[in-house]
Chains A and B, each alone.
Chain A
C-alpha cells in the first residue's frame, strides 16, 4: 500500500482522500438518520440510499490504489452490495407495510 501510494501523484492522493471522506460523511449521515428518524420507512430510506452512495464513493477512492484486476473486484463488490442492499430494503419495507396495514 505504501509503495503504490508513493508512486501516486499528489492530485490522485487528494482526489482519493476527498472521495473517501465524502464516503465516510454519507455513511455517518445514513447512520444518524437510521438512529434518529421516527418511522421505519424513513429509516430505510436514510440508511440504504446514503450507504449505497457512501460505499460507491469509498470504492471509487480505493480504486486509485489498486491495479486493474483489484479494481474490477472492487466494482463487483460495490454492485453486489448495492443490489443486495436495495433488495433487502424492499423486503423490509414490504414487511413494514403489511405490519402497518394489520395494525
Chain B
C-alpha cells in the first residue's frame, strides 16, 4: 500500500515535471525541469525492476543530457523567451493530444498480457551464452546485431556532428571545481570497471560503464582537463572505431573457429569461448561508447587557425 502511494507520487511528479518543462515560458527553466525529469526517470526505472536502465539513465539523464542542453542554451542567446501563444493555438493541439491519449490507453489495455515467446527461449539458452545476466546475454550474444549496429549509429552521429558543431565558447575553470573533478575521476573509473565486470552476472555492462565513463570525462573536460581527448588525436580516433573493429574481428574469428560440422552463423559465439569473447567486446565497446559520447557532448574546440580564417 505504501509502495503504491510512493508510485503514485513518483508518477505525478514525473508528469508534473514533463508538463512544466513543456509549458514553461523560459527555455532555461524548460531545460532545468527536463534534467530533474531525467533524474526522476532513473528512480522510476529502479521501481520497475530495471536496474540496468536506472544505471544508464542516471548517467545520461542527469549528466550527459544536462551538459548537452546547457551548452546548447549558452550558444543560442536569441529568442530565449517565447511569445505568448493565443488560446486557439493552445487549445487545438491539446484537444488532438487528449483524443490521441484516449485512443492509446484504450489500445494498450486491450493488449494480451501473455509474455512474448522470446522470453522462454532466452531463459533456455542462457546457459550457453557465457554470462548469467539475461540482459547482457541478449545484448552481446542473442541479439548482438543490435549492439553492433548501435555502435555504428553512435559513430555516425559523431561523424555527423563533428563538421557542423559550432566552436565552443572559451570557459574558465576554477580550482575548487578542478580539484573536485580530479577527486571524482578515480572513483568514476573504479565504478565503471566494476560495472563492466559485474555485467556478466548482475545488472551492469558495457553501456552503463561507457555512459558513466563519458559523464566523468565530460566533467573533466569542462574543467579544462583531458585536453588530449579530441578528434585531432589519432589514438582517440582509433579508440572511437575500436568498438566496431573489435566486434567485427571477433565475429570473423568466431566464424573461423566454428567446427566444420556445425552451421556457421554470423555473430554467434561458440559456447565455450562465449564468456571471454563477450568480455573482450564489452571492454572495447565501453571505451568506444565513452569516447564517442564525450566527443559528442563536449564538442570539438575548433583549431585556432581555422577560426581566424573564417572571421
List residues of A whose CB falls within 8 A of some B CB: 83-84, 87, 90-91, 94
Contact = CB atoms under 8 A, between A and B. Distances in A.
Contacts, number: 10
B87 interface: no
Contacts of B180: 83-84, 87
A96 to B, nearest CB: 14
Interface in B1-20: none
Given A90-B176, A91-B177, 4 more contacts: A84-B180, A87-B176, A87-B180, A91-B174
Nearest to B187: A80
Q: Is the interface of A mostly helix, strand, loop or mixed?
A: helix
Interface string B151-187: 0000000000000000000000010110010000000
Nearest to B179: A87
Contacts of B174: 91, 94
Question: In which size bucket is the chain B interface?
Answer: under 10
A83 to B, nearest CB: 7
10 contacts: A83-B180, A84-B180, A87-B176, A87-B177, A87-B180, A90-B176, A91-B174, A91-B176, A91-B177, A94-B174
Interface of B: 174, 176-177, 180
B169 to A, nearest CB: 14
A8 to B, nearest CB: 18
Nearest to A84: B180
A71 B177 CA distance: 28
Contacts of A84: 180
A91 B177 CA distance: 8
A6 to B, nearest CB: 17
Contacts of A87: 176-177, 180
Contacts of A90: 176
A91 B181 CA distance: 13
A19 to B, nearest CB: 19
B177 to A, nearest CB: 6
A94 B173 CA distance: 12
B63 to A, nearest CB: 12
A87 B183 CA distance: 12
A50 B276 CA distance: 49
Contacts of A91: 174, 176-177
Considering the complex of A and B, which 5 residue pairs feature the smallest CB-CB distances, nearest first? A87-B180, A90-B176, A91-B177, A87-B176, A87-B177
Contacts of B176: 87, 90-91
Nearest to B181: A87
